[in-house]
């Protein structure tokens, strides 16, 4: 049975092109199109779509207000499509499951490439997301000694679909004594800086988008830039990051595998590796490399994942030492750190 999709965008040309290309996939059926949230509301009632693609700026009602009203009354899978990078994270907060950047070139062939390389995969992923019936309770973590120092230790985290909120749930429970932390979250260029700024405002630790040569220090979290790989480097007893442009690895740039493999080499048994929700397998081999070097490794469990892809592959190949629900990950990190010499 085909995935029923509702396309919502105020541009008639964009709606038609998007619908035409989505319909070329045999697993997808565009059941309706809408020019604004009011039309979309009527189409949702009439067609009960499985997935909705939603533009951010539209007439009569903006997308944020629509999301605020829609999700509580009619939970559904929403993929944001927009060139307005600065607003996307608000939509994730209000219930969108994923986002893609609208192509700058509206040429039909470029549109076709964009739909088939990005959007169709995200529509299918969104459709397969299973929501928990009950809200997961986040456990506040208070380390036994928040002043304890963890010398020369590293925390490395990788995530993809669903990761923006999962990472927040983890590092909100970090205290300023947390070892230097490096993170890869699959995001397009431009999004990671805003994401880091948002996390920095909401967390006790300092969070920033990584720049080449940044020091990795206690109480600081570095997010890989959206268009560059990030590696951990150790020189003269100090950690820093190397950020560079490169080909996709495991289907992504930045790649979790690239980060984790560098952590395995630079930090070995002084590291804790964490793989969170995400589609695909990026990070699994890197986490295995970390474990083989003596690092402790954590994988998010299936129940708490938005998409149990990356953690599942990591678990299946033996890369995961501890499997934990999201709400326990931060406390597990601290428990592990307290056991490392």
Q: Report, as residue numbers or ranges, the catalytic residues.
A: 160, 186, 282
> How far is 167 from 229, CA to CA, in rounded Å?
19
CB atoms within 10 A of CB 175: 18
Among the listed residues 111, 84, 101, 105, the one whose alpha carbon sits nearest the alpha carbon of residue 22: 111
The alpha carbons of the chain give a radius of gyration, in whole angstroms, of 20
Indicate the length of the chain as a whole number. Answer: 341
* 140, 165, 293, 301 from 328: Cα distances, Å: 9, 15, 24, 10
Q: Is 283 left (phi over 0), alpha (psi -120 to 50) or beta?
A: left
Q: Which two tokens stand for residue 11?
A: 């541009």
> How far is 287 from 157, CA to CA, in rounded Å?
10
Non-local CB neighbours of 223 within 8 Å, separated by 6+ positions: 183, 184, 185, 192, 195, 196, 199, 207, 208, 209, 210
Q: What's the burial of 90, exposed, middle or buried (CB within 10 Å: 0-12/13-18/19+)? A: middle
Helix (H, G, I), strand (E, B), or coil: what is residue 98?
strand
Q: Which residue has the tokens 């009011």?
A: 38
CB atoms within 10 A of CB 134: 6
End-to-end CA distance of the chain: 55
> How far is 92 from 90, CA to CA, in rounded Å?
5
Helix (H, G, I), strand (E, B), or coil: what is residue 271?
strand
119, 79 contact by CB (below 8 A): yes
């Amino acid at each position: 049975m085909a995935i029923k999709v509702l396309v919502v965008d105020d541009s008639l040309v964009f709606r038609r092109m998007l619908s035409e290309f989505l319909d070329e996939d045999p697993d997808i059926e565009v059941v309706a199109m809408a020019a604004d949230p009011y039309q979309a509301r009527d189409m949702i009632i009439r067609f009960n779509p499985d997935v909705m693609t939603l533009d951010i700026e539209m007439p009569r009602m903006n997308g944020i207000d629509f999301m605020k009203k829609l999700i509580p009354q009619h939970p559904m899978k929403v993929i944001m499509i927009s060139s307005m990078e600065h607003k996307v994270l608000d939509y994730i907060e209000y219930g969108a499951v994923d986002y893609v950047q609208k192509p700058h070139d509206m040429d039909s062939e470029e549109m076709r490439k964009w739909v088939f390389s990005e959007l169709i995969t995200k529509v299918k992923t969104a459709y397969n997301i299973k929501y928990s019936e009950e809200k997961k309770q986040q456990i506040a973590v208070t380390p036994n000694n928040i002043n304890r120092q963890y010398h020369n230790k590293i925390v490395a985290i990788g995530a993809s679909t669903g990761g923006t909120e999962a990472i927040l749930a983890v590092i909100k429970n970090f205290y300023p004594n947390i070892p230097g932390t490096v993170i890869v979250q699959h995001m397009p260029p431009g999004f990671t800086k805003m994401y880091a700024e948002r996390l920095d405002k909401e967390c006790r630790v300092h969070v920033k988008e990584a720049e080449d040569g940044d020091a990795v220090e206690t109480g600081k979290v570095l997010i890989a830039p959206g268009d560059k790989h990030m590696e951990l480097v150790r020189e003269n007893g100090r950690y820093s990051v190397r950020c560079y442009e490169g080909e996709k690895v495991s289907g992504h740039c930045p790649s979790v595998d690239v980060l984790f493999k560098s952590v395995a080499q630079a930090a070995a048994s002084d590291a804790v590796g964490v793989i969170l929700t995400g589609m695909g397998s990026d990070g699994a081999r890197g986490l295995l490399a970390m474990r083989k070097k003596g690092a402790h490794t954590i994988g998010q469990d299936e129940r708490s994942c938005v998409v149990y892809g990356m953690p599942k592959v990591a678990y299946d190949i033996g890369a995961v030492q501890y499997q934990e629900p999201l709400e326990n990950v931060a406390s597990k990190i601290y428990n592990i750190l307290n056991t490392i010499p």
